[in-house]
Structure 1
Amino acid sequence: MEYTYKKIWLINFPVMMSVLIEQLINITDALFLGHVGEIELGASALAGIWYLAIYMLGFGFSIGLQVVIARRNGERHYAETGKTFFQGLFFLFGLAVALCAFSKLLSPIILHRLISSAEVYHAVIDYLDWRIWGLLFSFPFLALRSFLVGITRTTALNIAALTAVLVNIPGNWIFIFDLDLGIAGAAIASSFAELCSLAVLSIYVLRGRKRRTYGLYLQFDKQVLLHVYRVSVWSMFHSFISVAPWFLFFVAIEHLGELQLAVANIIRSISTLFFVIVNSFAATTGSLVSNLIGANETKNVFPLCHRIIRLGYAVGFPLIILALIFHQSIIGAYTDNVAVLQIAWSPFVVMLLNYVFALPGYVYMNAVTGTGATRTAFIFQSITIASYLLYLWGLSYWNVPLAAYWTVEYLFVIFLGIQSVVYLKYKHY
């Protein structure tokens, strides 16, 4: 089982497009809300990260689900992949319902204590009141995505990604401006886009021949569900804690002022493109490593990671150079405020250069997950998060520029990568 650069790319590109769905929705929201006002732009950052932290519970579970499906696929137990998929689907939908209820009941109470600006707080709640229902569509989509990545048949993810974009862009215009719903309109458009992409992917996966080959028939198996849960629960929590500190990051920025928060949201929105590249290669790594282990080819794990990192650099570096050259046009697409444009340059550069360290950090981390050691990955993540929060706490006590806050990301990915490499090198799996 050899994964060449071409084969890795053909598997990864559709994954990249599927990861882009959620992130393009956030980018589109920020682009439109930047022309509504600074309060709405800043509020969408806090609301978006809060939603993303909740979303990552489902995303993390889907990574573990993907690992189990990929292992069955590598073992050529194809009928078991469909049974595994349905157990993951049941769990994810139930989790979505529970998290929607949690957000409606507790988000206003928690956020009121964390956000200092009353205007920003009310805008955040207006957004979340509609955005949270998107979990009912995005979590089943994650189950379908895990199935396709696990069996390395990812082409349909391109169509689903394109559907989400084509729905979300005009939807934002209609709901935000034509119907004058403001930040709530952005949330409605985003949730509707996720519904449409789910419909497209469901039709593709659950049709004819694939149903017979992979055993895609509605079935409940308690033992399989418990196995998927044991593998996935740790990846679920380590995905959550990898994003949760971002919310605290933006809370710290919010206390610097509404202008600084607006700038931070623009930088975060732009960084999303590079986040998509890194996470797609990382997700691909987890699936391919699991397939290699299922085929008893553990000796190829490190060579595979090296190929994926080199390919990731080949994709990302040209985009970084273009972003540096056209930074004024890129940042200017979000706002006409001259003060925002001036403040944004330094954190923009710091954010871009972090790609050098983020790609190998996440690739090696997901290789650990692909070995099935999701508990170990969670421990690594927890240690790294503790260092991250300590560093962020230290910065909050000094009068440092916004760019300094973004250096905390360097600490995060470098420390994560070092722990993962040591584990992969010395642990027998």
Structure 2
Amino acid sequence: MIYTYKNIWFITFPIMMSILIEQLINITDTLFLGHVGNIELGASTLAGIWFLAIYMLGFGFSLGLQVMIAHCNGEQRYSETGKTFFQGLSFLFSLAAVLCLLSKTLSPILLKHLIISNDVYNAVVRYLDSRIWGLFFTFPSLALRSFLVGIIQTKALNVAAFTAVLVNIPMNWLLIFGFGMGISGAAIASAFAELCSLIVLTTYIFRHINRRLYGLHWSIDITILKEVFSISVWSMLQFFMSVAIWFLFFLAIERLGETKLAASNIVRSVSALFAVIVNALASVTSSLVSNLIGARERKNVFPLCHRIIRLGYIIGIPLVALALLFRQPIIRAYTENLIIVQTAQLPFTVMVLNYFFALPGYVYMNAVTGAGATRTVFLFQVSTTIAYLFCLWELSCWTVPLAAYWSVEYLFVILLGMQSIIYLKHKFRIK
């Protein structure tokens, strides 16, 4: 079982488009809200990351679900893939209900103690009040995506991604400006776009997937659910922590003032486009490594990772060059405030160049996830997070440029990559 660059690309592109859903929705929100006001622009950062932290609990579970489905697929136990999928779908829908209830109850209380500016706080709460209901659409979509990636049939993810984006853009304009709903309108538009994406994926499953072959019949099997959860729990904690770190990062920036918070939101928004490539290739790594291990071809794990990283550089280098060349026009698309534009330029450069370190770091980390060692990945995340937060704390004690805060991202991804390489070499006895 050898995956060529062409194979990897045809699997990666639809996944990239599906990941683009959440990112383009956030980018669209930021682009529109940047022309509403600085408070809304800054608040959308904190609100978006708070929601993303909650979303990542479901995303982390879906990765463990994807690993299990890919193992079954690699071992040609096709009927088990559908049974595993339904356990994950049931759990994710229940989790959405629990998290919605907890968020509506606790988020306003917790955020009141974390956000200094009252105006920013009120805008964040208004966004979350509407946005949180989108979990009932995104979590089932995650289960469907895990199934399609696990069985390596990912074409529908393209259509779902484009549908969400095409719905979100006009809905944002209509609700934010047409009905004057501001930041609440952005949240409602995003949730509606995710509903449309879910409808597309569900329709594809019913029309194009052999339900008899893949055992797509509703059933509850607690044994399988426990097995999926035992793998997924560490991914859930890992991804929740990775976004929680972002939230702490932006809380530190919020204390520097609304201008630097708004500038950082623009940088984060653009970084999401590069994160789409990295996360798509990392997700493919996890699935393909699981299939290789299921087919007892561990010797091909490192060659696969190397091909994926090289493909990522082929895709990313032209985009990095374009982003640096058109840095100022890109930033000015978000805001007409020249102070924010000037403040964002150096952090923007630091963020874009981090792509060269983030790609191998996350590919190797997801290779460890694909090997089923999700607890190990979580421990890597904990040790890296401690180092990351220590650096942020040190920076907060000094008066340093905003770009210095963004440079700490380099440390984070390099440490993750190094630990993952050492683990893989030891596990597969590669010198």
Q: Same fold (TM over 0.5)?
A: yes
Q: Which moved more, 1:70-79 or 1:232-241?
A: 232-241
What is the CA–CA distance in structure 2 between the aligned matches of 1:276 and 1:412, rounded to whole Å? 18
Equivalent position SS for 1:220: coil
What is the CA–CA distance in structure 2 between the aligned matches of 1:379 and 1:208, rounded to whole Å? 40
1:346-370 CA-partner distances (Å, limit 9, x unpaired): 0000000100000000000000000
Q: Which consecutive residues of structure 2, in runs of 5 or more, have no partner in the other structure?
A: none
| Counterpart in the other structure of 1:80 | 80
TM score, norm. by length of structure 1? 0.99
- The list of structure 1 runs, each at least 4 consecutive aligned residues, that deviate by more than 6 angstroms after superposition, is none
| Counterpart in the other structure of 1:48 | 48
The residue correspondences of 1:105-120 to structure 2 (distance < 5 A) are 105-120=105-120
What is the CA–CA distance in structure 1 between the aligned matches of 2:176 and 2:409, rounded to whole Å? 33
Q: State how many pairs are aligned.
A: 429
| Counterpart in the other structure of 1:319 | 319
| Counterpart in the other structure of 1:242 | 242
Q: Which consecutive residues of structure 1, in runs of 5 or more, have no partner in the other structure?
A: none
What is the CA–CA distance in structure 1 between the aligned matches of 2:307 and 2:75, rounded to whole Å? 23
| Counterpart in the other structure of 2:264 | 264
What is the CA–CA distance in structure 2 between the aligned matches of 1:213 and 1:337, rounded to whole Å? 57
| Counterpart in the other structure of 1:293 | 293
What is the CA–CA distance in structure 2 between the aligned matches of 1:405 and 1:227, rounded to whole Å? 40
1:280 corresponds to 2:276: no
The residue correspondences of 1:337-416 to structure 2 (distance < 5 A) are 337-416=337-416
User: Does the 8 Å CA contact 1:347/1:403 hold for their aligned counterparts?
Assistant: yes
User: Does the 8 Å CA contact 1:206/1:216 hold for their aligned counterparts?
Assistant: no
| Counterpart in the other structure of 1:165 | 165
Q: How far is the alpha carbon of 1:207 from its aligned partner?
A: 3.1
User: Does the 8 Å CA contact 2:211/2:217 hold for their aligned counterparts?
Assistant: yes
| Counterpart in the other structure of 2:232 | 232
Q: How far is the alpha carbon of 1:84 from its aligned partner?
A: 0.3
Amino acid at match of 1:28: T
1:14-35 CA-partner distances (Å, limit 9, x unpaired): 0000000000000000000000
Equivalent position SS for 2:180: coil
What is the CA–CA distance in structure 1 between the aligned matches of 2:291 and 2:174, rounded to whole Å? 44
Amino acid at match of 2:336: D
User: Does the 8 Å CA contact 2:299/2:428 hold for their aligned counterparts?
Assistant: no
What is the CA–CA distance in structure 2 between the aligned matches of 1:14 and 1:385, rounded to whole Å? 31
The residue correspondences of 1:69-148 to structure 2 (distance < 5 A) are 69-148=69-148
User: Does the 8 Å CA contact 1:56/1:243 hold for their aligned counterparts?
Assistant: yes
What is the CA–CA distance in structure 2 between the aligned matches of 1:266 and 1:66, rounded to whole Å? 32
What is the CA–CA distance in structure 1 between the aligned matches of 2:214 and 2:398, rounded to whole Å? 57
Q: How far is the alpha carbon of 1:247 from its aligned partner?
A: 0.1
What is the CA–CA distance in structure 2 between the aligned matches of 1:213 and 1:392, rounded to whole Å? 51
Amino acid at match of 1:114: L
Identity over the aligned pairs, expressed in percent? 69
Tell me the C-alpha RMSD between the 2 structures.
0.8
The residue correspondences of 1:27-66 to structure 2 (distance < 5 A) are 27-66=27-66
User: Does the 8 Å CA contact 1:11/1:154 hold for their aligned counterparts?
Assistant: yes
Amino acid at match of 1:337: N
What is the CA–CA distance in structure 2 between the aligned matches of 1:215 and 1:297, rounded to whole Å? 26
What is the CA–CA distance in structure 2 between the aligned matches of 1:100 and 1:402, rounded to whole Å? 34
What is the CA–CA distance in structure 1 between the aligned matches of 2:379 and 2:284, rounded to whole Å? 22
1:312-359 CA-partner distances (Å, limit 9, x unpaired): 010011001001111111111100111111111100000001000000
Equivalent position SS for 2:210: helix
